[in-house]
Chain A
Amino acid sequence: MGVRLDMTPMVDVAFLLLTFFMLTTQFRPAETLPVVLPGSHAASKAPGGNLLTITVTSGGVVFVGADVPPGVYLPGLPAGPLRDVRVAMKDLPLLLVRLRSTNPALQTLIKADRGVSYGPVEDVMKALQVARISRFALVTDLERQI
């Protein structure tokens, strides 16, 4: 009973970290596009930053989100990171080329709804091919082993 540790600094740090993680986890999934991902057994995780995300909704509509370095302005688009901007299929190759030239480290993800037909996804892949982005990844949900 004689030994008493002052736990106040430790509790301070714990609560600081707690508030930090609570806030960051809340702001991460600020996703407005409803996409039901297909399942797969793939274990590789998406990279944390420098992402170019092409979302294909169940209706076949394409949205593009990307990390744009500060100080770079794309014509016809607001400054800063792209937040899931709706893009017509015919404008996609040019936008991809522009994004790639502003940030060559971008990693491409295709996030398509499981119910969408293959046509729009193939068109997105063709646009990637035109933009000379030959490596990309499909975003899936982890499917449990049967």
Chain B
Amino acid sequence: MGATDSTADSRAAARHTGRRRRKRRLGIRIDMTPMVDVAFLLLTFFMLTTVFSRPQTLEIGIPEDETRVQIAGGNLMTIRVAADGALFWNLGQGAPQLVTLDQLGPVLSARNRANPHLMTVLKVDRQGRYEMAVDVLDELALAGITRFTIAPMLPEDLELIRRAHKE
């Protein structure tokens, strides 16, 4: 009897502990809130960086090959960048005037306010730095000038710059 009792007891105990274990397992709840927080943080980070990874650009239009557009001399502003990075500007057939990059912005705005039909041509020496050309294009963009183009530096332009440098 004692034996059966003991087995019944142990079975009861086993059932009891098993029940308790099952209860404990049901009772375990992991708070997933911090993990979800981190997941969403990373998600927003990667979403934003993919959007921002597109590079910034400066838009430029050049005339198509073999096209000739006649512009009245007074409506033409030429900006020349010398090989040493010196900047010159002139209207029409006027003599090039030396200007710094900081002064170029106000000059551009003033000239374009005075003449809304002004067309700007940028000529950069082949030996000049590309960064200088970008800086001038940036000044044009900041001054809100969309009527501009890029033209190659001709020997006449170099001669004009040389003369302006001497003065």
Residues of A near any B CB (own CB < 8 A): 7, 10-11, 14-15, 17-18, 21-22, 24-25, 28-29, 37-46, 48, 56, 109, 111-119, 121-122, 125-126, 128-130, 132, 134-143
The answer to whether A11 and B39 have CB atoms under 8 Å apart is yes
Which of A111, A113, A138 is within 8 Å of B137, CB to CB?
A138
Residues of A within 8 A of B81 (CB): 118
Which of A25, A39, A111, A134 is within 8 Å of B49, CB to CB?
A25
Q: Is B131 an interface residue (CB 8 A)?
A: yes
Residues of B near any A CB (own CB < 8 A): 32, 35-36, 39-40, 42-43, 46-47, 49-50, 53-65, 81, 124-135, 137-138, 141-142, 150, 152
Residues of B within 8 A of A113 (CB): 130
The answer to whether B130 and A118 have CB atoms under 8 Å apart is yes
A131, B125: Cα distance in complex, Å? 23
> Nearest-CB distance from B36 to chain A (Å)?
5
Question: Are A45 and B56 also in contact (CB < 8 A) when A14-B43, A134-B63 are?
Answer: yes
Question: Are A44 and B56 also in contact (CB < 8 A) when A21-B43, A38-B134 are?
Answer: yes
The answer to whether A130 and B58 have CB atoms under 8 Å apart is no
A127, B154: Cα distance in complex, Å? 18
> Nearest-CB distance from B119 to chain A (Å)?
16
Chain A residue with Cβ nearest B57: A137
Can you report 27 A-B residue pairs in the complex whose CB atoms are below 8 A from each other? A7-B36, A14-B39, A14-B40, A21-B47, A21-B50, A28-B50, A42-B59, A42-B141, A44-B56, A45-B56, A45-B57, A46-B54, A48-B54, A113-B130, A114-B129, A114-B130, A116-B130, A117-B128, A118-B127, A118-B130, A128-B62, A129-B62, A134-B62, A134-B63, A135-B61, A137-B59, A138-B58
